[in-house]
Chains A and B, each alone.
Chain A
Amino acid sequence: MKHFMKMVVQVWLYFYCICLWRCFKFILRKLTGRCELQRICYKNKPGAGRTLKIEASLKSSKSKLLQSSVTVHPDAIEKTIEDILALKKVNVDTNPQLAVSLQACLLQIAGYRHLTVEVEKLRREAYDSENPEHEEMLIKLWKLLKPGVPLDARVTKQWCEIGFQGDDPKTDFRGMGLLGLYNLVYFAEKDTTTALQILSDSLQPKCRDVSKEEFSKVSKTEWEMKKFDKAIGYSFAIVGINITDLAYNLLISGALKTHLYNVAPEAPSLHHFQQTFCFLMNEFHKFWIEVDPVDIMEFNRVRNKFHKRILKQLQKTDMALCPHFAASESLVNV
C-alpha cells in the first residue's frame, strides 16, 4: 500500500511538473515575446549545446508539426521551417537568424539519423569471401598494414601478424560485418602512422620494470619466457572490431550526438564516424598502456572502464572527442 501511494505521488508530481513547465514557458513567451525555439537559438552557440536543446524541445512539443520535424527528410527541411515559423507566428524580417539556426540544427539531426541507418546497413552486411569487393578490401588492409610484405596465400597464418584470430579473417568480422573492415581500412589508410605504431606496440611483449630484488626471485628461464610471451600484447584487428562495436554502441545510443554535433557543422556523415573510430582506437591504446593490465584476459574489464570514461566525456555538451590526430585534421571544431 505504501509503495502504491508513493507511485501515485510520483506520477502526480510528474504531471504537475509538466504543467508547471508549460506555464513557465507561456509566461516567458509573453514576457520576452519569443518562443522557446527562439530563446534556445539566441542563447546558445552553434554546436551540440544548441542542437541537443532544439531536438529535445521539438520532441517534447505538443504540436504534431514540431514533433515530426526531427524525423523529416533533409530535402523537406526548408518547407518544414517555413511551416514552423508560420505556426509560431515569427516575423522572418525581424528575426532573420532563427530560420538559419533552425535549419542548421535540423540538418544535423537528420544527418545523425541518416548516419545511424547507413552504419547499421554496413554492420548487417556480413563479410562474404565470395564477393570480390570484400576480398579486395581485405587485401588492401593487409597491404596498408604490412607494406612490402606479400601474402603467401589467401588463407595463411600470416593474418595473425595483423591481429586476426586464425588463418582466415572472414570469420572474425561476425556481428560487426563490413563495418569492422571499413573502419580498419579507414584507420590504416587515413592515419597510417598511428595505425602502424599501434600495430607494432600491440605485438611487443610487455616489458615490465622489474626491480633488482624481484629480478633475483624470478628464475632466468622464467624471465626469458615472460619477455617473449607474445600473448601479452593484444590482437590489433580483433581489438579494432571490438572498438567498432564500442563506437557503434555510442552512435546507436545517441551518446555520440554531442561529439558529432560539435565536429560536423553541416551534417554528420560516415567519415565523421570513421574518424571517431580512429580516435577511439588511439585513445584505447593509450588507456590500455595507462591501466597496464596483467594480460589479455583483462580486456573486457579495461574495455568497460574505457567505455564509461568516454560516456562521461560525452556528457559535456561542449565536448568534441579531441580532434588532434591526423585523420581529422580537416575537421572544423565549432
Chain B
Amino acid sequence: MGLLSILRKLKSAPDQEVRILLLGLDNAGKTTLLKQLASEDISHITPTQGFNIKSVQSQGFKLNVWDIGGQRKIRPYWRNYFENTDVLIYVIDSADRKRFEETGQELAELLDEEKLSGVPVLIFANKQDLLTAAPASEIAEGLNLHTIRDRVWQIQSCSALTGEGVQDGMNWVCKNVNAKKK
C-alpha cells in the first residue's frame, strides 16, 4: 500500500462537523481565542466588524467556529447565526468588572433564545493573565450560573493570550458536542 492510498483512506473517514458560536462583549477576546484555536499569530488583531470564521480539526471533529463582533451595534445580528449551533462559547473579560452586569444580561438573553435552547454552553473567563482578573468562581456566582438547569454548562478560566486553559475548554466542548437537549 502506497502513501497516497493511506492518505486517501484517512480522508475517507470524514470528521463530524460541529458548529460553534463564539459570542461575548466587544474586547472580550473572541478573535484572539479564535486565532489561538487555529494556532495563528495573535499580535495583529483588530476590532471585528462583522464576523470571522475558521475551521479547526480537534479530536475527530471538524470545528467550524464563528466569531461574531461584540460591539453593541452588531449584537442585534447575533440571532442570524443561532440556527443549528451545536455549542455556544461565551467569552468574558474577567478584568472588566465594570461591565460584568452588561455581559451577564447579554448571556441571560442568549440563554432565553428559543433557537439556542438546550445548546451546551461553555463560558470562558478570559484574560486570567491580568492581575486584576476576577477568578472564574466569582464570575460564576455573579452571573448566577448555578441556576442554569436546561442545558449542560461549564465555566473555564483561561488566557487567550498565553493559551492557558483554552485546550481544557475545548476538551469539554468535544465531550459535550452531542449533549444537546432536545
Contacts and interface: CB of A to CB of B under 8 A. Distances in A.
B47 A298 contact: no
Contact of B49 (A166, A176, A230, A238): A238
A174 B27 CA distance: 9
Interface string B21-53: 000001100000000000000111111011110
Interface in A151-194: 160, 165-166, 171-172, 174-176, 180
A198 B144 CA distance: 44
Interface stretch (A53-61, A62-70, A91-99, A239-247): A239-247
Contacts of A244: 46
A175 B71 contact: no
B51 A166 contact: no
Interface string B4-16: 0000000000000
Size bin of chain B's contact surface: 20 to 34
Nearest to A155: B98
A172 B77 contact: no
Contact of A299 (B42, B50, B76): B50
Given A165-B71, A231-B74, A231-B76, A242 B49 contact: yes
Contacts of A166: 26-27, 71-72
B73 interface: yes
Interface string B72-85: 11101100100000
Contacts, number: 70
A331 interface: no
A297 B52 contact: no
B73 A239 contact: no
Contact of A242 (B27, B46, B80): B46
A303 B43 CA distance: 19
B31 to A, nearest CB: 9
| Chain A interface size, under 10 / 10 to 19 / 20 to 34 / 35 or more | 20 to 34
A317 interface: no
Contact of A231 (B42, B43, B51, B73): B73
Contacts of A242: 46-47, 49
B77 A231 contact: yes
A300 interface: yes
**Would you list the 5 A-B pairs with minimal beta carbon distance, nearest first?**
A299-B50, A299-B49, A171-B27, A175-B45, A165-B71
Given A235-B71, A300-B52, A165 B47 contact: yes
Contact of B47 (A160, A230, A231, A238): A238
Interface in A302-325: 303
Nearest to A252: B44
A296 B44 contact: no
Interface in B55-72: 69, 71-72
A239 B49 contact: yes
A164 to B, nearest CB: 9
A176 B74 CA distance: 21
Contacts of A174: 45-47
Contacts of A230: 73
B14 to A, nearest CB: 25
A234 interface: yes
Contacts of B43: 175
A295 interface: yes
A247 B156 CA distance: 37
Nearest to B80: A297
29 contacts: A160-B73, A165-B26, A165-B47, A165-B71, A165-B72, A166-B26, A166-B27, A166-B71, A166-B72, A171-B27, A172-B47, A174-B45, A174-B47, A175-B43, A175-B44, A175-B46, A176-B44, A235-B71, A238-B49, A239-B49, A241-B47, A248-B44, A296-B50, A296-B77, A297-B50, A297-B74, A297-B80, A300-B49, A303-B49
A171 B70 CA distance: 13
B48 to A, nearest CB: 8
A235 B49 contact: yes
A242 B69 CA distance: 13
Given A238-B71, A245-B44, A300-B50, 11 more contacts: A165-B27, A166-B72, A171-B26, A172-B27, A235-B71, A245-B46, A248-B44, A296-B50, A296-B77, A299-B50, A300-B49
Given A165-B26, A165-B27, A165-B71, A298 B50 contact: yes
